[in-house]
């Protein structure tokens, strides 16, 4: 037997509490509706520009208290003041900078809910032309920085749980001859992420750890890659948006939206995953 309920039926009975959770209260000001990470404490490295800046802006807009770190103090401080975040100078390759930073976060907030290990550099060199110093510097920023971040975040996340988001790249899934050290570092971050997630789960910590793998995104780093590869000077184009679309570049917010998802409780069952955000570049064969 089929039973059809009309709208008028609903007004005769009070909905149970579990149903009401999904309803926005009447006359609720849109500005008062909680964001996806409302009240959470978030730390974003390499946040003065590019993907890190986009992450910091979106997390702040969604209610998080954000601590931004970078070595570009002028730019980082300006962004932090604009969006209402905190800014701390940090070279992520230096272990002591992490020890000092996490001690500060612990004293100020007594916890950390979200860590975005985003800081990175890109040195254009293949295995035959790269110097050992360049190799160590790239791995220092990317791999050591991510290791230190995860290592020193755990004590602040153990009690309440949290989300660690490590920025990798599609070059972790492919080869990249002229970005040899960058590719190696991003591949290592991919594996490190899974091991951190496995460790936290084995210890019973409610800490998720995932990696994000962007494709080519409209940032200064991508502009440098384009100029090196084709001589194209993106910033000199008359219509940069048209050129962006022509080249198939993503936007920083495409990555920030994935970071927001992973940082939020919407992703409570997403762990040890590698989230590729590249418009299919790694899997869709392009016509020649």
Strand partners for 242: none
Specify the pTM: 0.85
The per-residue pLDDT for 26 is: 47
Beta strands in 113-262 (DSSP E): 114-117, 162-167, 207-214
The per-residue pLDDT for 284 is: 84
The per-residue pLDDT for 237 is: 65
Mention the CATH class of domain 37-215+252-276: alpha beta
The per-residue pLDDT for 228 is: 59
Is residue 284 classed as helix, strand or coil in its secondary structure? coil
The per-residue pLDDT for 29 is: 53
| Spans of the chain, pLDDT less than 70 | 1-33, 222-237, 239-240, 243, 245, 247, 285-288
d(CA 210, CA 95): 22
d(CA 259, CA 54): 10
Domain boundaries, the chain: 37-215+252-276, 219-249
The per-residue pLDDT for 51 is: 98
Structure tokens at 168: 């990798």
C-alpha atoms less than 13 angstroms from C-alpha of 104 in its C-beta half-sphere: 15
Structure tokens at 118: 């985003």
Query: Could you tell me which residues come within 8 angstroms of residue 111 by beta carbon, excluding any fewer than 6 positions away?
Result: 41, 156, 157, 159, 160
The per-residue pLDDT for 241 is: 75
Catalytic residues: 182
């Amino acid at each position: 037997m089929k039973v059809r309920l009309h709208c008028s039926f609903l007004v005769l009975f009070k909905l149970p509490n579990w149903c009401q959770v999904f309803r926005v209260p009447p006359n609720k000001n849109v500005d008062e509706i909680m964001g996806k990470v409302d009240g959470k404490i978030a730390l974003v490295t390499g946040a003065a520009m590019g993907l890190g800046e986009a992450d910091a802006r979106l997390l702040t807009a969604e209610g998080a208290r954000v601590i931004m770190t970078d070595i570009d103090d002028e730019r980082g401080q300006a962004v932090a003041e604009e969006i209402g975040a905190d800014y701390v100078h940090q070279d992520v390759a230096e272990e002591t900078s992490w020890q000092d930073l996490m001690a500060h976060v612990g004293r100020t907030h007594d916890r950390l809910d979200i860590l975005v290990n985003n800081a990175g550099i890109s040195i254009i060199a293949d295995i035959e032309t790269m110097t050992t110093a360049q190799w160590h510097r790239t791995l220092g920023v990317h791999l050591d920085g991510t290791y230190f971040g995860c290592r020193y975040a755990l004590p602040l996340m153990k009690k309440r749980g949290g989300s660690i988001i490590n920025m990798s790249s599609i070059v972790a899934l492919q080869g990249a001859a002229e970005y040899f050290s960058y590719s190696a570092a991003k591949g290592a971050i991919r594996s490190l992420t899974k091991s951190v997630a496995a460790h936290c789960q084995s210890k019973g910590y409610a800490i998720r750890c995932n990696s994000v793998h962007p494709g080519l995104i409209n940032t200064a780093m991508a502009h440098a890659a384009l100029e090196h590869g084709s001589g194209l000077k993106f910033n000199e184009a008359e219509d940069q948006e048209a050129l962006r679309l022509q080249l198939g570049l993503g936007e920083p917010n495409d990555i920030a939206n994935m970071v927001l998802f992973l940082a939020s409780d919407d992703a409570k069952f997403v762990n040890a995953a590698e989230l590729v955000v590249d418009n299919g570049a790694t899997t869709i064969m392009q016509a020649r």
